[in-house]
């Protein structure tokens, strides 16, 4: 009855599921990691790097999202690519699930061990292997975080600009194809990764662009690098990344302005981009987010739909850019700019933007965040935001909207009372409707947070049955026994 190719733990799961037909039995039947495998793990990474303590397992069984904790059976800490390779061989031979763990800041339950198994934490692999300032690139091990890299680069005049709000590991950022407020100017992880060292399920180590290659361009065969970017730990473990660096701009100035309605703020954004202005950041906050930000970050902005902007370049170019953008703001009946020119003011403003999640949670103390993340072609953005806002209002829930609007990407951070199942249901239905709306408007159900556990159904809707089949075939090629982060991206 069951396909012979299924790994053992899946056969157990499937048998139990078919016997009782219940979801509970599916969860209860998660295979235990045998003691001899735990011993073998310790033989590879050392006793100090293996833990079966519940506190450690719980720490590794969840990320920063709303998904319930699903602890792995055991946590192993790798200190080298050899460790990663040996652990993968072991788990592959034993057909035990293996979940890579970077820094656990993901937002779609990517690290949750929903089918049990071994969590492999790579945060101890923290070497910055090389920096080539003249070539604008560097190579880092998987545990290096973005802030650590930028602190290290401080004296070179270079930086790595991709900035999810959290201080995530750079290879975790590769795995989720992260981006943030700087994407409008510098792109996402996809545009900024040149090569990856990846350990495959059977323990083989490959370099996606060839060993030590670090060119800006290549036409050599398939783009394996970008196959692993966004693969969420389901195709291999990324152990090193070669990344593009950028020059720190000569001058920077930030500003805030507000509008009478959402449409005018988003129209201004579209026009700024259409005029070819190389804006450094352009972030949208609706009036609910502005109110939350004022209270939490001690700002005194007018409570109205607003844009946070940043301009970079030479003093002359700053003058031209700010003049032109100021004119566009006026054309859309926006307010004057409130400038943040010195570094303290700028940092305060952007810290407020990055703290917005905490600000939104403070609107309803005791609540947990439930976040959405959709992205549409920029010309469709005004309508999709306006209609999402209508859905939020219809449902009668608190739903602040924040957007990387220059990329057509926006979020709602719902503060949710998780002890109230009805409320959770209402919020998840609004989030689902927003994703479906984005798909109807030629968009995607996730611009930057990934599929993880939360958006598996939506993925099929987005790319279609045949597209999903091809993804499954790719997965089977890289991971024939299905041990790598099972149950993520697809069911
Ligand atoms: C307050 C706040 C604010 C933001 C965000 C989070 C938080 C808490 N994020 C989300 C988050 O920072 C982002 O998803 C990171 O890329 C996750 O990196 P971690 O190292 O934490 O991966 P984490 O450990 O959470 O793992 C994420 C996924 O990648 C896999 N993985 C991790 N390391 C791997 C490796 N070396 N090889 C293979 N697979 C690996 C995991 O198995 C999992 O599926 C975000 N994101 C964003 O894009 N834009 C944003 O603006 C923000 N903002
Ligand atoms: C539930 C946590 C949501 C944080 C999302 C952060 C993000 O993507 C952003 O601020 O932008
Ligand atoms: Mn974001």
Model confidence at 26, pLDDT cuts 50, 70, 90, reads very low
Average pLDDT over residues 475-484: 98
The pLDDT of residue 10 is above 70: no
Q: Report residue 376 CA to chain centroid gap.
A: 17
Average pLDDT over residues 422-447: 98
pLDDT in tens, 281-309: 999 999 999 999 999 999 999 999 999 99
Question: What is this structure's pTM?
Answer: 0.94
Distance 404 CA to ligand 3 centre (A): 7
Our mutation pick for probing the ligand 2 site, out of 357, 404, 410, 416, counting the most ligand atoms within 8 A of Cβ, is: 357
Atom of ligand 2 nearest to the CA of 370: 1
**238 C-beta closer than 6 A to ligand 1:** yes
What average pLDDT does this structure show over 108-124? Answer: 98
Task: State which ligand 2 atom lies nearest to the alpha carbon of 371.
Answer: 1
Instruction: Say how far apart CA 18 and CA 15 lie, in whole Å.
Output: 5
Please list, residue by residue across 3-21, b when 16 or more beta carbons sit within 10 angstroms of its beta carbon and e when fewer do. eeeebebbbebbebeeeee
Is residue 281 in contact with ligand 2, taking CB distance under 6 Å?
no
Q: Give the span between the Cα atoms of 93 and 7, in whole angstroms.
A: 10
* pLDDT value of residue 13: 46
Quote the CA–CA distance of 130 and 156 in Å, as a whole number. 13
The pLDDT score that the predictor gives to residue 3 is 40
Write out the chain in H/E/C secondary structure.
CCCCCCCHHHHHHHHHHHHHCCHHHHHHCCCCCCHHHHHHHHHHHCHHHEECCHHHHHHHCCCCCCCCCCCCCEEEECCCHHHHHHHHHHHHHHCCCEEEECCCCCCCCCCCCCCCCEEEECCCCCCEEEEEHHHCEEEEECCCEHHHHHHHHHHHCEECCCCCCCCCEHHHHHHHCCCCCCHHHHCCHHHHEEEEEEECCCCCEEECCCCCCCCCCCCCCCCHHHHHCCCCCCCCEEEEEEEECEECCCEEEEEEEECCCHHHHHHHHHHHHHCCCCCCEEEEECHHHHHHHHHHHCCCCCCCCEEEEEEEECHHHHHHHHHHHHHHHHHCCCCCCEEECCHHHHHHHHHHHHCHHHHHHHCCCCCEEEECCEECCHHHHHHHHHHHHHHHHHHCCCCCEEEEHHHCEEEEEEEECCCCHHHHHHHHHHHHHHHHHHHHCCCECCCCCCCCCCCHHHHHHHHHHHHHHHHHHHHHHHCCCCCECCCCCCC
* ipTM of the complex as predicted: 0.99
pLDDT tier for residue 9 given thresholds of 50, 70 and 90: low
Q: What does the pLDDT read at residue 31?
A: 59
- Give the position of tokens 């050899």: 82
Q: What's the CA gap between 232 and 236, in Å, rounded?
A: 9
Reply yes or no on whether the pLDDT at 115 is more than 70.
yes
Name the closest ligand to CA 353: 2
Only one residue has tokens 């039995």, namely: 25
**Ligand 3 centroid – CA 52 distance (Å):** 34
Mutate to test the pocket of ligand 2, among 407, 411, 427 (most ligand atoms within 8 A of CB): 411
Task: Quick: pLDDT tens for 302-339.
Answer: 999 999 999 999 999 999 999 999 999 999 999 999 99
Distances 369 to 4, 233, 358, 397 between C-alpha atoms, Å: 42, 24, 9, 13
Report the length, in residues, of the chain: 491
Q: What is the reported pLDDT for 341? A: 82
pLDDT bin (cut points 50, 70, 90) of residue 8 is: low
> Which of ligand 1's atoms lies nearest the C-alpha of 142?
36
Cα angle 361-431-292, degrees, rounded to a multiple of 5: 25
């Amino acid at each position: 009855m069951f396909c012979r190719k299924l790994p053992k733990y899946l056969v157990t799961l499937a048998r139990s599921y078919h016997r009782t037909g219940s979801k509970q039995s599916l969860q209860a039947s998660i295979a235990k990691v045998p003691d001899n495998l735990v011993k073998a793990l310790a033989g590879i990474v050392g006793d100090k790097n293996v833990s079966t303590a519940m506190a450690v397992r719980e720490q590794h069984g969840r990320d920063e999202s709303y998904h319930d904790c699903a602890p792995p059976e055991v946590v192993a800490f790798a200190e080298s690519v050899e460790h990663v390779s040996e652990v993968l061989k072991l788990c592959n031979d034993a057909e035990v699930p293996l979940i890579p763990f970077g820094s656990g800041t993901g937002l779609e339950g990517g690290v949750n061990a929903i089918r049990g198994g071994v969590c492999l934490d790579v945060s101890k692999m923290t070497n910055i292997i090389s920096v080539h300032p003249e070539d604008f690139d560097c190579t880092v091990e998987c545990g290096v975080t973005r802030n650590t890299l930028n602190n290290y680069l401080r004296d070179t005049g270079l930086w790595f600009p991709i900035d999810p709000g959290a201080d995530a590991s750079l290879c975790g950022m590769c795995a989720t194809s992260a981006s943030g407020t700087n994407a409008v100017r510098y792109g996402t992880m996809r545009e900024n990764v040149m090569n990856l060292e990846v350990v495959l399920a059977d323990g083989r180590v490959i370099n996606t662009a060839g060993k030590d290659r670090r060119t800006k361009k290549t036409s050599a065969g398939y783009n394996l690098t970008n196959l692993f970017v966004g693969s969420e730990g389901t195709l291999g473990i990324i152990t090193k990344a070669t990344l593009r660096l950028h020059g720190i701009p000569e001058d920077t100035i930030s500003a805030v302005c507000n509008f009478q309605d959402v449409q005018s703020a988003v129209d201004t954004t579209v026009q700024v981009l259409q005029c070819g202005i190389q804006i450094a950041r352009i972030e949208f906050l609706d009036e609910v987010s502005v109110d939350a930000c004022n209270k939490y970050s001690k700002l005194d902005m007018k409570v109205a739909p607003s844009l946070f902007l940043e301009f970079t370049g030479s003093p002359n170019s700053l003058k031209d850019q700010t003049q032109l953008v100021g004119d566009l703001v006026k054309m859309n009946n926006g307010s004057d700019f409130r400038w943040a020119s010195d570094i303290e003011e700028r940092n305060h403003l952007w810290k407020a933007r990055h703290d917005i999640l905490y600000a939104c949670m403070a609107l309803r103390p005791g609540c947990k965040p439930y976040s959405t993340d959709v992205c549409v072609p920029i010309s469709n953005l005004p309508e999709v935001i306006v209609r999402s806002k209508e859905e939020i209002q219809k449902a009668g829930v608190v739903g602040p909207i924040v957007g990387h609007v220059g990329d057509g990407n926006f979020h709602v951070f719902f503060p949710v009372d998780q002890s109230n199942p009805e409320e959770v249901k209402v919020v998840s239905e609004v989030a689902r409707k927003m994703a479906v709306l984005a798909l109807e408007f030629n968009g995607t159900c996730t611009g930057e947070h990934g599929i993880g556990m939360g958006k598996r159904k939506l993925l099929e809707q987005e790319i279609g049955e045949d597209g999903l089949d091809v993804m499954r075939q790719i997965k089977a090629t890289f991971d024939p026994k299905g041990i790598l982060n099972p149950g993520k991206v697809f069911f």
